[in-house]
Amino acid sequence: MFGGAVSAPTNSPHLRKSGSRPAIFDLGTTESGNSSGEDFLHSVVLNEMKGVSTSLTSAAILPSPVLLWRFKVLLFFLWGFICCKIGWDSVMRMSADLRDLFLYEAFLYYNPLLLVTMMVWLWGINLWVFAQANVGYAKIFDLDQSHLTHREIWKCAIWMTIIVPTSMTAYLYLYSHGEVSLAASQPVLLYAAVTMALIFPFDIFYLSTRYFLLRTLWRIVFPLQAITFPDFFLADILTSMSKVFSDLERSVCRMVHRQVATIAWFEADSVCGSHSIAIPIVLVLPYVFRFFQCLRQYKDTREKTTLLNALKYSTAVPVIFLSALKYHVFPEKWTNVYRPLWLLSSVLNSLYSFYWDVTRDWDLSCFTRIFKFGKPHYLSHMIYGRKWVYFWVIGSNLILRCTWTYKLSAHLRHNYLTVFTITALEMLRRFQWAFFRVENEWNKMNSKTNIQLSTSEMVNEEEKLLHSNGHSV
């Protein structure tokens, strides 16, 4: 019964090729009860075949990622050319005596955000190098799993690079064509949009990162808790951006008092004028914040080096306020008394800051790492590895430290192109400073981990020896 041979019918679909057309039609002739289910199976097969063909067709139509990237780059440069062309034509429409004053005012509104955009670009490069060198920057800065990578940082920088110059071009165009009220609204709308993007409470536009940034800024302004590495790292960056905050203060002051696009910068009695006492106060605030951080660290750790670090930041205070006295004393007294004091305090601040960068922040005491590469560090082994790089970093840091003192001087603020160049160079100095500072912190963390591991291994070995000898403790 069960072992007999069974003859298959001649029209069985199993005797034909599975891909042949008659096999599909014969399925419906075997049993009438299964015809509906088999028709459904037939339609599913046909739909799958259509879906595969559609996906192949769409894949063939879509451009390659490289071509799409090149197209975006082309659009970016085309947009930049259009903005430069419109801005230049707008400036050339003005009279020669009005042009310089107008450019100075436009520069004041958009210079801070342009420099912040530059810093975001450079920070993305920092993160990219850290990732390539396997430096655990997420562990150093105590970041969560949703922290921004260098690609996301660059995306933010791209949007900032597009929005800020576009607003500046609209400001130049509208003002040169007589639309003063519309021109005055451009920087106001831009600053309001940036503020909303930072404090927007909903889970869009990297909420966790924005919250982390705002929380760190709050800890910097009010150092009422133990100072962490992100706290003083960001505070050090803010000292390099003190001129940015000074320009922000004057821009916001003019917006509040409705003085945008009025070209009244050189009025000494103006609330937001160039002689305002608020300018040196805002310039000195980042150094004051960092000074109190050092005092808080001394309270927690009792390390005397934190007091020396606090002394370094205090040397910036005479540079700023002695320079600001030019607007409030007689010219003879400034030339004979305050200017020599300003020069002396500038030299002291520059040399002290340079010494601290090299010996403390970078751990290049006596320049030993220039000549000893027997045990290279992570970044040193990856991207440096040559002595001339260390000579370049040390030499450029010394020069830029001295020029940075020039930028801190309140009586030189009208040379806005020179100040802008020096501020950009200070951003580059801080950019290369970040590599060595983070590397130094990463090496310290690894050395502590290795010491803990070696200590635990020694304890385990002692326990094994005691148990092997039959002793107990």
Residue 185 confidence (pLDDT) above 70: yes
Cβ–Cβ contacts within 10 Å for residue 323, how many? 26
Cβ–Cβ contacts within 10 Å for residue 265, how many? 18
Determine the average pLDDT of the residues in 123-140: 91
Residues in the chain: 473
Whole-angstrom distance, CA of residue 281 vs CA of residue 276: 10
The token duo for 255 is: 């917006």
Residue 329 confidence (pLDDT) above 80: yes
DSSP 8-state secondary structure symbol assigned to residue 32: G
Show Cβ contacts of residue 56 under 8 Å, excluding neighbours closer than 6 positions: none
Query: For 166-170, 262-266, 334-338, 354-358, which range has the lowest pLDDT when averaged over its residues?
Result: 262-266
The pLDDT score that the predictor gives to residue 72 is 86
Determine the average pLDDT of the residues in 188-192: 95
Query: For 323-332, 338-347, 433-442, which range has the lowest pLDDT when averaged over its residues?
Result: 323-332
Show Cβ contacts of residue 158 under 8 Å, excluding neighbours closer than 6 positions: 76
Helix ranges (DSSP H) in 200-241: 207-221, 229-240
Are residues 153 and 131 in contact, defined by beta-carbon separation less than 8 angstroms? no
Task: Give the percent of the chain with pLDDT over 90.
Answer: 38
The pLDDT score that the predictor gives to residue 472 is 44
Residue 221 confidence (pLDDT) above 60: yes
DSSP 8-state secondary structure symbol assigned to residue 166: H
The pLDDT score that the predictor gives to residue 380 is 54
Residue 5 confidence (pLDDT) above 60: no
Residue 126 binned pLDDT confidence (cut-offs 50, 70, 90): very high
Determine the average pLDDT of the residues in 43-68: 60
Whole-angstrom distance, CA of residue 150 vs CA of residue 122: 10
375: left (phi over 0), alpha (psi -120 to 50) or beta: beta
Whole-angstrom distance, CA of residue 405 vs CA of residue 347: 8
Question: Of 390, 418, 389, whose CA–CA distance to 404 is shortest?
Answer: 418
Query: For 197-201, 308-312, 366-370, which range has the lowest pLDDT when averaged over its residues?
Result: 366-370
Whole-angstrom distance, CA of residue 456 vs CA of residue 452: 6
Question: Of 166, 130, 139, 163, whose CA–CA distance to 378 is shortest?
Answer: 130
Whole-angstrom distance, CA of residue 217 vs CA of residue 262: 33
The token duo for 307 is: 């007091």
Show Cβ contacts of residue 467 under 8 Å, excluding neighbours closer than 6 positions: none
Query: For 232-246, 343-357, 392-406, which range has the lowest pLDDT when averaged over its residues?
Result: 392-406
Backbone angles phi, psi at 297, to 5 degrees: -65, -35
Task: Give the H/E segment covering residue 6.
Answer: none
The pLDDT score that the predictor gives to residue 22 is 45
Cα Rg of the chain, angstroms: 33
Q: What is the pLDDT of residues 374-402, one digit of tens each?
A: 444 545 554 445 667 777 888 899 998 88
Residue 331 binned pLDDT confidence (cut-offs 50, 70, 90): confident
The pLDDT score that the predictor gives to residue 237 is 96
Q: Give how far Cα 264 sits from Cα of 7, 26, 260, 273, Å.
A: 105, 92, 9, 7
Packing angle of the helix pair 339-356, 387-408 (nearest 10 deg)? 150
Dihedral of CA atoms 221, 223, 229, 230 in degrees, nearest 10, equals -30
Residue 440 binned pLDDT confidence (cut-offs 50, 70, 90): confident
Q: What is the pLDDT of residues 275-293, one digit of tens each?
A: 788 888 999 999 999 999 9
The token duo for 369 is: 């790492």
The Cβ-side half-sphere exposure at 102, using a 13 Å CA radius, reads 22
Whole-angstrom distance, CA of residue 198 vs CA of residue 351: 37
